[in-house]
Amino acid sequence: MLDLPLAARRAKERAHDRVQRALAQRQPPASSVAHVERNRSFRGQLLDASRRSREDAAGPIPAPDALFLSFPERILAKWYYLAYGTQRDSTAEDRLSGVEQSSIQTWKRWDAVGSLTRFRNFSGRHSKSMLVAHGLSPAQDTTLLLADIGRCVRAARATNLPAHVLLADVSWMSYNRSIRRLDFTEAEISDGLRVCLDRRTRLYKALGLSHTLHSIVPFATKGTIHEEKLNRICNSYGTLVRLLWGNDAADASGHYLASSFIRS
């Protein structure tokens, strides 16, 4: 169990100590800057930290506040950063209270998960929906599918946007080499994908989610992905490999690429 109020107080104490050290420097910050920093709420600190990360070189993320609050992994990672993180004047673990010491590993796990959370496609855009992309599988779906849908729906509700699913259909997934690593026959793959499609569409309908099916067609049509284009890409890679590493490598890579595009 994480003691959130205690961690918030720790973060405020660290922020206050940081300002005091800055003011004691030979060239302290302007008094107005120190005043703002001292009186800034923990909520403001937390949201500001959530908008910034080393991976977001373009600057603070312009997503709405509600979106950050809808993802506990991101918000708790930054909560840990402000209260206990080593990026600033770190608090030694031997000086933490017993409650904090017992929960520090849980905080670190949230920090590890939250560091993988990214926010994209908000700058300069008017969002129309929250989008999640899914593919079919001949194997049984797991609870991870529901978790993924839950994340999308949570974000959609937080931003007052509809949730929409892009679904790769049977023809698309028939090109997916990873499903052929499963212990299924061609017939089992084909039947399993069709059963999965039926389950998925019924699930999306039950949850009130709109969805769009995307397929790979056998002929060239504007705005579609088609076999002719895939074959051209495959041949181009084969030519590139032949130029770089010779015919033997090209033959091996050609077999690999061809096997990736086998239809079921």
Give the gyration radius of the chain's Cα atoms: 25
What local confidence, expressed as pLDDT, does residue 251 receive?
60
| Burial status of residue 259 (CB atoms within 10 A of its CB: 0-12, 13-18, 19 or more) | exposed
For residue 5, what is the enclosing H or E element?
helix 4-23
What local confidence, expressed as pLDDT, does residue 236 receive?
86
What local confidence, expressed as pLDDT, does residue 209 receive?
93
CB count, 10 Å around CB of 144? 8
What local confidence, expressed as pLDDT, does residue 204 receive?
95
Contacts of 73 (CB under 8 A, 6+ apart): 110, 113, 114, 116, 117
Q: Judge whether 209 and 133 are in contact, CB under 8 Å.
A: no
Q: Judge whether 14 and 91 are in contact, CB under 8 Å.
A: yes
Ranges of H-type helices in 85-166: 98-114, 143-159
What are the residue ranges in the chain where pLDDT is below 50? 88-91, 255-264
What local confidence, expressed as pLDDT, does residue 52 receive?
78
Separation in Å, CA 22 to CA 19, 46, 91, 100, 182: 5, 21, 17, 27, 59
